[in-house]
Structure 1
Amino acid sequence: MTAPGPSGTRPERFETRPPGRVARESAPVVPTGRALLRSPALRRGVVAVVALAALVGGLGLAADRVPGPGGPGLSDDGRVTVVVFTVAVSAWVFTRVDDTYVALGAAVALVLTGVLGTDGLFEALGDDTIWLLLSAFVIAAGVTSSGLATRATAYVVSAARTPRSLAHLLTGALVVTTFAIPSTSGRAALALPIFLCLARVFADRPALVRTLALLFPTVILLSAVGSLLGAGAHLVTSEVLVAATGEGVGFVRWLLLGLPLAVVSAHVAAEVVLLLFSSRAERRRPLRVGPADFAAESPTPVTGPLSVAESRAALLLGAVVVLWCSEPLHGIDPAIVALVGALVATSPRYGSVSLPAALRSAPWSLLLFLAATLALGTALTSSGAAAWFAGGLFGGFSGDGAAVAFLAVVVVASTAMHLLVQSRSARSSVLVPIVVALSPAVGVDPVAAAMASTAAAGFCHTLPSSAKPVALFANVTGTDTYTPRDLLRLSTVLAPVSAALVLAFSLLVWPMLGLPYLR
């Protein structure tokens, strides 16, 4: 019998087992083939692969046998494009693989299969829209580092005396940032310190803090349509129109069409947020906030005279916007204007940021994604795949009222698309080529259809993962903001309102501004 241990207890049995047995039992467990086959994750993966293969095979067969709008089935290039496009969209919807990785993989697949030439892919990387966006990011880095945007916002909101006036003043300020910061995520990052200041000032009013937390991403997303540089999706839309019709939408025309919609939809959304998430008593309760309240969260002064860096940033930004708007007078391409502005913003004696630092702040993943989706959109149009998709999805539209019905379906589908594809640029690369391909067949102007789709796709508020600004303001350390249930409540009301506004502008307002929806 084994003697008791020093503490009077009997030793554990494993201490008397042979060392070899102990080693075998302590070795890591290697799953057997049978265990792997029983794994739920593996079964789900196999089902997904089989389903995707069946979908791709079915589409390939359909592309071969089903006639498109212009006659028989697709060419070989068209069938390959359909398969690659379907796989890319499936990866965007059903997997967690990075969107840029998927887009680049799809573009490379089109090159390897001969649908897209090597020059076509690399020319997309050198497209003037890429240079325009990159230069705009460099200018934005200079404006942000100068502190001009924070100071301007602080002075604007200091005029507020009630929650309603605060909400609409913030909305106006955020609409203006559409011309200074060329991405929704960049504007959200710029606005976050402003929100933190307001949350600290109104810490005793949690309902107001929640309302403001919802207001910022809502306005940022809906106001992006006001500028060609408001989102990368706008550049995708313009390039798809160039490939399909030979003419895109320039900065001035986009400003004329998009800014009125941005202003109206942003202020309507602000009112919806106020009515849904604040009581009447809260909205009537007075408030006061001054520029000094922002000093704690701002790395640059927000009171006193403008600094040299702020004055120069204001002058540079004003000059660039004026030159963009006056392109018909001087004929200088907006990309060249932006590039000159970027050089001035990073110049050793004038600029407030160095060129290497500004380039490090640029979202290179977004730029590569944009280039890849431009190549994918070009392939969809040139191979006939977009027209084939359009005939299958919207081929039933004909006769009287077909144009209005088509636009309504486009707006609704574009509004709901964020539930499947999170990236705004990816949504445009999926929808816009199809919409542009079919619109002439139902008597709709391709530019009007593309603008309606792109504007409607700006709504992406339903889930925290639907857009980066929504995710950013949903997870603010030390501050309670909003829950997924709040977002669902907001989107239930705001989605139909937003879609109705886009459709109203497409049918009523844009024709008065020179863009009739009928071809």
Structure 2
Amino acid sequence: MRLVSPLAVAGFGVATGAGLIAYGLVLGASGALWTAAGLGLAGITLFATRAVPEVVAAIAIFLVALGLGTAPRDIIFSGFMSGGFWLIVSGIILGTAITATGLAARISGRLFALAGPSYGRATLVIATTGLLLGILVPSTMPRVIVMVPVAAAFAERLGLDPKGRGGIGLIATAVTATLLPTYTILTANLPTIVQVGAMQQSYGIASTYSEYMIQQWPVNALRFLLIAVLMMRFTTETPVCAGDDEAGAAPHRPEQRRLLIVLGVAILGWMTDFMHGIEPAWIAMAAAAIVIWPRFGMLDGNAMRERIDFSPPIFFAALVTVVAVAREAGLDRVLADAFIARLPLSPAGDLSSVYAVYGFSVIISHLTTAPAAPAVLVPFAASLSEATGLSLKAVSMVQMIGIATPVLAYQAPPLIVAMSISKVPNAVFVRLCVWLALAVSLVGLPLTYLWWQVIGFV
């Protein structure tokens, strides 16, 4: 039985946010922190509860931010200029083409050959595919965009409704497995790349691919195993398909071959970004431009009007606005300073200090979202190292575990995008995030600390 309705939660959050904004306006120029906090609280509450359509909440955020005038327009609309926005736009186009050409059904047929008519094996195959894709593609957004239609087609191959519990379970498995366990791979996620790069730039502390994987693997192995176990038991539905169908055995259609070539070149570009320096978003845009061109036959001329939904990227841009306005007002720094003064830090470098740094990192990552959290956390690494007795690199690794532990789905933009393009209910990702966060906090962190002692890292 639901004790509090999402509408009630949304109403409380919006009312409280409006109160903070009003108080900030009364204070005048010194009230920017309060108006930013009010805008953030109201916006995140609306996004979390989906009390109104996400695009409505997004437009409201833009309007309120413009009306308040607490940040320049280039800050308010910075989301539209970010690579993430265009990566989502391009990804929606590519994902639509993967489904429209029948390529998703073909890939799902290959996966079915491995899993057979078993939901448990299907879950494990999908989770493993998502994890392995993290090795190939150094950006979560493209992986999510590829995996969502593949998982939906896989559900159909098993005779499950993609919008039913069985289909939702496979899609949620694909999304979470290609995001959270891949934090053990240095190149797999933007927050990891930013964190390691910022540590090297600020303190000269570098991490190699293999070194980072060795230090992070215990907690991420736990994440993968828990995702597999939880999602295997997600539904009691029994697959009704017991073999390959004609779609799986049919020859490649020309448009499928063309799309495979485009995706192959794009994946090669994403894999080698360390060589050419081209951002994943621009590679995705080039691929999307080819795919959307009717001349190549992958999508028809009406696709942009009838198939492409632009509400997810607008939603993403609004989330960036909330974070950007908060950072412009200095809210992240004020809150970080307030939190760090109250942390139970011990110079002994023991597990309690690890927990303190981890908890601080989890809180900051939820105030800023995962991609932006390193910009706030890295400047505190030196003071945290001095206060805890942990090395700078150990502090950075603990911070990374905190960043990679979303309690609420909005902290990780790939989960937000997945909810938008897959229509998986918020509650599914929230429950998964909570279970994973509990597992990391109660088991993963002590296990990782013990492993670090074994290898001499702490």
- Scaled by the length of structure 1, what TM-score is found? 0.59
Q: Tell me the residue number matched to 2:356.
A: 406
Contact 2:20 2:35 in 1 (8 A): no
Report deviation, 1:366: 1.9
Counterpart of 2:154? 194
Render the CA deviation track for 1:305-362: whole Å, top value 9, x for unaligned.
3222222222221211111121222233333322221222233443511465157544
Could you tell me which amino acid in structure 2 is paired with residue 140 of structure 1? G
* 1:291 equivalent among 231, 234, 244: 244
8 Å Cα contact 1:92-1:99 kept in structure 2:
yes
- Give the one of 320, 330, 333 matched to 2:266: 320
CA contact (8 A) 1:130 1:371 kept: yes
| Separation in 2, partners of 1:101, 1:390 | 31
Instruction: Report the Cα distance in structure 1 between the residues aligned to 2:44 and 2:18, rounded to whole angstroms.
Output: 14
1:375 is paired with a residue of what secondary structure?
A: helix
- In structure 2, the residue matched to 1:217 is 172
For residue 146 of structure 1, report the CA deviation from its aligned partner. 2.0
Where in structure 2 are there 5+ consecutive unaligned residues? 1-7, 184-188, 203-207, 386-391, 411-415
1:321/1:430 Cα in 2 relative to 1: closer, same or farther (>3 Å)?
closer
Name 2:123's counterpart in structure 1: 167
Q: Please, which of 108, 112, 137 is the counterpart of residue 153 of structure 1? A: 108
- What is the alpha-carbon distance in structure 2 between the residues aligned to residue 470 and residue 495 of structure 1? 24
Look up the match of 1:455: 404
**Superposed, which structure 2 residues align to 1:5-154 within 5 Å?**
75-92=30-47, 96-154=51-109
**Number of residue pairs aligned between Structure 1 and Structure 2:** 410
Is 2:317 aligned against 1:357?
A: no
Which residue identity lines up with residue 291 of structure 1 in the other structure?
D
State the partner residue of 2:439. Answer: 497
Structure 1 321/488 Cα, relative in aligned 2: closer, same or farther at 3 Å?
Answer: closer
CA distance in 1, matches of 2:279, 2:10: 49
306-315 vs 404-413, which deviates more?
A: 404-413
Q: 1 CA distance for matches of 2:52 and 2:160?
A: 37
What's the CA shift for 1:99?
Answer: 4.1
Residue 303 of structure 1 and its aligned partner are, at CA, apart by 0.9
Note closer, same or farther for the CA distance 1:211–1:123 as it changes in structure 2 (3 Å cut).
closer
User: Given residue 229 of structure 2, which amino acid in structure 1 is its aligned partner?
Assistant: E
Map 1:218-367; keep pairs closer than 5 Å: 218-225=173-180, 265-274=223-232, 289-292=242-245, 295=246, 301-354=247-300, 357-358=303-304, 361-367=307-313
On the 8 A contact 2:291/2:298 being kept in 1, the answer is: yes
C-alpha offsets along residues 114-163 of structure 1, whole Å, 9 cap, x if unaligned?
A: 43212333443122332233223222222222222221221222233684
Letter in 1 for 2:359: V
- The change in CA–CA distance for 1:303 and 1:411 in structure 2 (over 3 A counts) is farther
**CA deviation string 1:273-318 (max 9, x = no partner):** 447878xxx9xxx9994321xx5xxxxx321332222222222212
AA matched with 2:127: T
Rate the CA distance shift 1:504–1:325 in 2: closer, same or farther, 3 A.
farther
For residue 43 of structure 2, give the secondary structure of its aligned residue in structure 1. Answer: helix
Match of 2:389 in 1: none
The 3 A distance-change label for structure 1 pair 441 and 383 is farther
Q: Are the counterparts in 2 of residues 432 and 453 from structure 1 also a CA contact under 8 Å?
A: no
Is 1:442 the equivalent of 2:394?
Answer: no
Give per-residue Cα distances to partners, 1:374-415, cap 9 Å, x unaligned.
233233223321111223344312442475223432576699
Q: Could you tell me the percent identity over the aligned residues?
A: 16
Letter in 1 for 2:287: G
Rg comparison, structure with higher value: 1
Q: Is the 8 A contact 1:456 1:502 kept in 2?
A: no
Post-superposition offset of 1:236: 9.0
Q: Does the C-alpha gap of structure 1 residues 267 and 312 become closer, same or farther in structure 2, counting only changes over 3 Å?
A: farther
Check 1:117–1:329 CA distance in 2 against 1; reply closer, same or farther (3 A cut): same
Distance 1:170 1:53, change over 3 A: closer
**Are 2:21 and 2:36, in contact at CA under 8 Å, matched by a contact in 1?**
no
Distance 1:330 1:507, change over 3 A: farther
Contact 2:103 2:256 in 1 (8 A): yes
For 2:328, the equivalent position in structure 1 comes to 382
